[in-house]
Amino acid sequence: MKVEKIAFPQRFLWGAATAAFQVEGATGVDGRTDSIWDTFCRIPGAVVGGDNGEPAADHYRRFEQDVRMMADLGLGAYRFSIAWPRVRPDGGAVNQAGLDFYQRLVDTLLEHGIAPWPTLYHWDLPQKLEDAGGWAARDTAFRFADYAATAVEALGDRITTWTTMNEPWCSAFLGYAAGIHAPGRAEPEAAVAAVHHLLLGHGLAAEAIRAANSHTRVGITLNMYPIIPADPAAPGDQDVARRLDGLQQRIFLDPLFRGEYPADVVEDLEPFGFAANVRDGDLGVISAPIDMLGVNYYTEHYVSASPNGASSAASPWVGVDQLSFPRRDFPLTDMGWEVRPDGLTSVLLRLHEQYPRVPLYITENGAAFRDELDSDSAILDVDRTSYIESHLRAAHDAIEAGVDLRGYFCWSLLDNFEWAEGYAKRFGIVHVDYETQVRTPKMSARWFSQVARDNALVAVP
């Protein structure tokens, strides 16, 4: 039997990703104050099982063990987020104890030959800033830049790549429109204001990072999905797909890469006062060149003018997840998401063909499944392994088509607090027993380790 190796480009970066609130725990330790997620978790029914970010995966206390495990797995990079309420509690003065934790983490990563890839904002806005208006308030963008300057001043001599924001779509539309993520507001005017202020915060933070270290690479991470009309011949479905693609993708990509918001999206959002948030000079700040773009991908979305296929118009600000539905001919993850690896190829090709080219990295890709233990207590997560393999093949297809894809970060390194799903969903390639905090690499971790070491997939026809 012929065995074919599917090789990735030289120096392709292999890593795994986490987010501070999902893994760190220690939410009241060393000067950290509440984030919007601490507050949101206290709302009855907001999170499955009433779960919260304590102790999560206890990464704050166990990071040295976790870094050794990453090194054993042969990972070349670790994408983590810095907790704003640790570094500048309540959005105010600098907290040295919080900075010291990230100093230790970065130093330990470098000692083990692992590149640190920090994200400055993975959704944990200090609650005091939310009380002052949150991302719906323009001032929050400037407070974010202050925080970014603090982080890069402390860590920038050891870090070569910074990500400003993770998935601003989720922050704006799930947090301020749908109300199903922190801060739990269902206010369309606030949501569209948040879109612009998140992007402005990115641009201001990028300025601050480059002012502190001109040799540092700066980028942003967006969650991207093909958005496909359920009935391509139905005008209502076509229009919903256009509007949702505008809100999911183009409202972020166009200002970043073209220095303007899409005219059709601005028109759709006119009833909610979107344009009034944009001031002279803002788009120049937002569109300053970036050095890389992170892409988070999990599935495709099929959308209709209504969930039952009727042709009634959808609200122009509604979130994609509220209008998408699975089709029965594809396997589903434990989140109810279709396994659609071809969509990753489509997303990468779209960026390559329609926007100015910058290096791309898959900064999140993975799946929640129910883990199965064999008689030796090994965790045989066959479905997760298959999911990652199929998406790596899709990524390789994009590379073969000319896409400048330079790395892949699996989501997630550890089982963790999965936002509104609490601890009910497991994405980790490493199992975490939340009672004992024992870590157990799953089959997917061992398999992914070999891929990273070989810089290649093995294909058996």
pLDDT given for residue 407 in this prediction:
98
pLDDT digits (tens, 9 = 90+) for 308-361: 543 333 344 444 444 455 555 789 999 999 999 999 999 999 999 999 999 999
Please say if 364 is a catalytic residue: yes
pLDDT digits (tens, 9 = 90+) for 64-113: 999 999 999 999 999 999 999 999 999 999 999 999 999 999 999 999 99
State the average pLDDT over residues 180-209. 97
Residue indicated by tokens 């060149």? 289
Domain of 429 in residue numbering reads as: 4-459
- Residue in 265, 20, 11, 267 with CA at minimum distance from that of residue 120: 20
Q: Which residue in the list 24, 189, 338, 364 is annotated as catalytic?
A: 364
How far apart CA 214 and CA 209 sit, in angstroms, is: 8
Please say if 435 is a catalytic residue: no
Q: Which residues pair with residue 294 across a beta bridge?
A: 221, 361
How far apart CA 75 and CA 97 sit, in angstroms, is: 28
Contacts of 126 (CB under 8 A, 6+ apart): 33, 34, 35, 36, 84, 85, 88, 89, 90, 91
How far apart CA 451 and CA 27 sit, in angstroms, is: 35
pLDDT given for residue 312 in this prediction:
34
Which segment of 95-99, 195-199, 211-215, 456-460 scores lowest on mean pLDDT? 456-460
CATH code of the domain containing 374: 3.20.20.80
Per the structure, the count of domains in the chain is: 1
Using a pLDDT cut of 70, give the percent of the chain over it. 93
Using a pLDDT cut of 90, give the percent of the chain over it. 87
Question: Is pLDDT above 80 for 238?
Answer: yes
Cα-Cα-Cα-Cα dihedral sign, residues 181, 183, 186, 190: negative
Mapped onto helix, strand or coil, the DSSP state of residue 454 is helix
State the average pLDDT over residues 20-36. 98
How far apart CA 127 and CA 34 sit, in angstroms, is: 6
Which segment of 238-242, 257-261, 359-363 scores lowest on mean pLDDT? 238-242
State the average pLDDT over residues 15-38. 98
Token digits of residue 50: 């009433």
How far apart CA 283 and CA 196 sit, in angstroms, is: 9
Residue 377 backbone class (left: φ over 0; alpha: ψ -120 to 50; beta: rest): left
> Where residue 375 falls among pLDDT bands split at 50, 70, 90?
low
How far apart CA 71 and CA 307 sit, in angstroms, is: 46
How far apart CA 253 and CA 351 sit, in angstroms, is: 9
Q: Write the single-letter amino acid at 70.
A: M
How far apart CA 253 and CA 295 sit, in angstroms, is: 12
How far apart CA 355 and CA 189 sit, in angstroms, is: 28
Contacts of 79 (CB under 8 A, 6+ apart): 15, 16, 17, 18, 117, 118, 119, 163, 363, 409
Q: Which residue in the list 24, 130, 167, 300 is annotated as catalytic?
A: 167
Q: How many CB atoms lie within 10 A of CB 48?
A: 14
- The torsion defined by the Cα of 145, 149, 155 and 159, in degrees rounded to 10, comes to 60
How do strand 13-17 and strand 217-223 relate by DSSP bridges? unpaired
How do strand 4-7 and strand 405-411 relate by DSSP bridges? unpaired
pLDDT digits (tens, 9 = 90+) for 127-175: 999 999 999 999 999 999 999 999 999 999 999 999 999 999 999 999 9
Contacts of 118 (CB under 8 A, 6+ apart): 79, 80, 81, 82, 102, 106, 151, 155, 159, 162, 163
How do strand 4-7 and strand 456-459 relate by DSSP bridges? antiparallel
Which segment of 110-119, 195-204, 303-312, 360-369 scores lowest on mean pLDDT? 303-312
